[in-house]
Structure 1
Amino acid sequence: MDHDRDQSARRGMASATYTAFERMFDAVAERWAGDAGRHEMMVEALTATGDYRVLRRLRTPTPLDRLPDGARLGIVLDVETTGIDAAADEIIELAMVPFAYTIDGQVLGTLAPFHSYRQPKTPIPEEITALTGITDEMVAGQAIDAEAVAAFIANAGIVIAHNARFDRRFVERSWGCFADIAWGCSMAQVDWRAEGFEGTKLGYLLAGIGFFHDGHRATDDCHATIALLGATLPSGSTGLDALLRCARAPSWIIHAEHAPFERKDLLKRRGYSWSGNDGTPPKCWWREVPSDQLDAERAYLNDRVYLYEADPPVRRVTAWERFSDRL
């Protein structure tokens, strides 16, 4: 009898924990096929409360069979490397995902990707393996075919990377074909702050549009970037549209040569970078500005940095040189 009472008590406790919330889902789920339908209903219910935001795993889209008529071809590229110094470190993974787009920045779909590993001259640092999951065993004996790379990008109108200043410098040192194509940057050429985002890291931005992915693997990062570019932002335009408008416009690099040392903190706050760290001459503070801001930037340097009528050198930049070591 005691055993029966214990079982009855346990059944009562189980019944009490079977909430109305769960009963509602079970009732609705009967009209759906499989777990996917139930999960979707749970997402909708949680979101409707206003107290939850649900992130969906970013799924790899089914590639298009061909480029649609009238569409343009772009490529999103990502590399994993043994370090951050393009002059000393090496590429260990290259991924490129082609995508079809319209002139006004609508992403139409992706095509079959390119992916390859490369064995570096020295063992992969432990911290890089921890970050990327790429081991020495995975890249052993692997090489990236230069002719295949050149053929893959031959018909593309633009190559895009999330932090193109990093990726372009690495790939141009390995494959000269990347110097002869326009580049864009999904990190720097979309005004994410104006769109309501507080950062520019890929994973953070992707979460902002409702997704997550397995970061620091080159192909996955490419698909994440394309999803981000294809999303409609609060301003009403897509990320790709904003990037293309920025990439198509010429800009100017202004070199604050011979700027007084004591003005370095002022220049940093203004957005200047020191070119001496990457081996790019001249060794001075520099900043890239749109054409309509060039005169104002010169005036700023004269009034706040030089304190006299200086004539700092400038250079016109287009998408064919931007983000490269050739500036």
Structure 2
Amino acid sequence: MKNTESNEEHLEAHLESLKSLGYRFTRPLVIRSSYLIAPTSEKMLRAVILDTETTGTDYVQDKVIELGMVAFDYCPQTGMIGDVHGTYNELEDPGFPIPPESTKVHHITDDMVAGKSINDEEVEAFIAPASIIIAHNSRFDRRFVESRWPIFKSKPWACTFAQIDWDSEGLGSSKLEFLAYRSGFHYEGHRASIDCHALLEVLHCAPTESGISPMKQMLDNARQKEYKVSALNAPFDSKDLLKLRGYRWNPDRKVWHTFIQEPSFEAEVEWLKAAVYNNRSSKIEREKVDAFNRFSERAGVVEIIDI
């Protein structure tokens, strides 16, 4: 025991010496049972971080072959992370061969999933206490799990990829492996539950130039209500203006659309009326987007508004 402690102390001293010369080191990911240093009186809610491995990228045709989840407590006001309440990780046979290009990413083979299935009741029990579901690319994971387990439609979602401005925080990349490195640890990724634990560690300890924790930034952005605004029958000669404004063209509906946060909606209407429709009587479409339908294929409440 003394030899072990002596070796660790020697290693720490050596690393500190190298750090003083500008070297940077990462530690292995340690899976924690709690992130609390001391008991807290803060009101805590339950969250679940989720990750999937799939046979491909098309949620209609492809299948989930691995589901990983980590449940933990958090403070909704401060973003403080508390106790970790469990890990779920199961494989499922998709019923057809896993494409080789997918196996290269997650290293899951046909033999590993043969005859296996994910228990629906266990999944529902695991997420039932959660007040929010978190993924690093919710636009991908949400569509897959809602297709396989409809209960996920009843939960609000947040996304650590889209709802934290990693670049503005001086981190330069939103890739999970890079965020882990900048947070001071490394891990073997691309398996569901390990990626979940790595993401939780990043939410806790990633450095930010603003001083606001990544978890709080994500929660604040997830609470924002916004509208998908579609400029109906916009004149053809306004396309450049709309494009510069950040609108995107939907070729199926033949309409320009963008996303506007709720407080900015009236100002956007005034801009559309003056710049696009030349103050002529026109109509726009407004679709409500919030944490319950954001990143999914499900539309929010749609209104046609005269402007």
Q: TM-score range by the shorter chain?
A: 0.7 to 0.9
- Normalised TM-score (structure 2): 0.83
SS at match of 1:313: strand
Name the counterpart of 1:169.
Answer: 143
Name the counterpart of 1:223.
Answer: 197
Give % identity. 38
Letter of the aligned partner of 1:291 in structure 2? E
Deviations 1:103-152 (A, max 9, x none): 22001132211111011122111111111111111111111111111111
The 5 A counterparts of 1:236-315 are 236-258=211-233, 271-272=246-247, 284-298=255-269, 310-315=282-287
Structure 2 residue 196 is the aligned partner of structure 1 residue 213: no
User: Residues 218, 285 of structure 1: CA spacing in aligned structure 2 closer, same or farther, 3 A cutoff?
Assistant: farther
Name the counterpart of 1:5.
Answer: none
Letter of the aligned partner of 1:54 in structure 2? F
Quote the Cα distance in structure 2 between the aligned partners of 1:94 and 1:274: 34
**8 A Cα contact 2:232 2:283, kept in partner:** no
CA shift for structure 1 position 264: 7.2
Quote the Cα distance in structure 1 between the aligned partners of 2:79 and 2:283: 38
**8 A Cα contact 1:68 1:100, kept in partner:** no
Letter of the aligned partner of 2:264 in structure 1? Q
Name the counterpart of 2:29.
Answer: 58
Name the counterpart of 2:69.
Answer: 96
User: Residues 237, 151 of structure 1: CA spacing in aligned structure 2 closer, same or farther, 3 A cutoff?
Assistant: same
Quote the Cα distance in structure 2 between the aligned partners of 1:319 and 1:81: 24
Quote the Cα distance in structure 1 between the aligned partners of 2:103 and 2:298: 31
**8 A Cα contact 1:75 1:156, kept in partner:** yes
Quote the Cα distance in structure 1 between the aligned partners of 2:10 and 2:75: 36
User: Residues 48, 125 of structure 1: CA spacing in aligned structure 2 closer, same or farther, 3 A cutoff?
Assistant: same
CA shift for structure 1 position 267: 6.0
SS at match of 1:79: strand
User: Residues 261, 63 of structure 1: CA spacing in aligned structure 2 closer, same or farther, 3 A cutoff?
Assistant: farther
Higher deviation after alignment, 294-303 or 262-271? 262-271
Letter of the aligned partner of 2:141 in structure 1? D
Letter of the aligned partner of 2:197 in structure 1? H
Mark the runs of 5 or more structure 1 residues left unpaired by the alignment. 1-29
More helix as a share of residues: 1
Letter of the aligned partner of 1:247 in structure 2? A
Mark the runs of 5 or more structure 2 residues left unpaired by the alignment. 300-307
User: Residues 127, 271 of structure 1: CA spacing in aligned structure 2 closer, same or farther, 3 A cutoff?
Assistant: farther
The 5 A counterparts of 1:122-133 are 122-133=96-107
User: Residues 284, 78 of structure 1: CA spacing in aligned structure 2 closer, same or farther, 3 A cutoff?
Assistant: farther
Deviations 1:246-293 (A, max 9, x none): 1122111123455578977876675555667xxxx8565543231123
User: Residues 95, 298 of structure 1: CA spacing in aligned structure 2 closer, same or farther, 3 A cutoff?
Assistant: same
Length, aligned pairs only: 291
Equivalent residue in structure 2 for 1:142, among 108, 111, 116: 116
Name the counterpart of 2:17.
Answer: 45
RMSD: 2.9
Quote the Cα distance in structure 2 between the aligned partners of 1:257 and 1:43: 62
SS at match of 1:312: strand
- Normalised TM-score (structure 1): 0.78
Structure 2 residue 180 is the aligned partner of structure 1 residue 201: no
Quote the Cα distance in structure 1 between the aligned partners of 2:64 and 2:164: 26
Structure 2 residue 90 is the aligned partner of structure 1 residue 105: no
CA shift for structure 1 position 214: 1.6
User: Residues 289, 130 of structure 1: CA spacing in aligned structure 2 closer, same or farther, 3 A cutoff?
Assistant: same
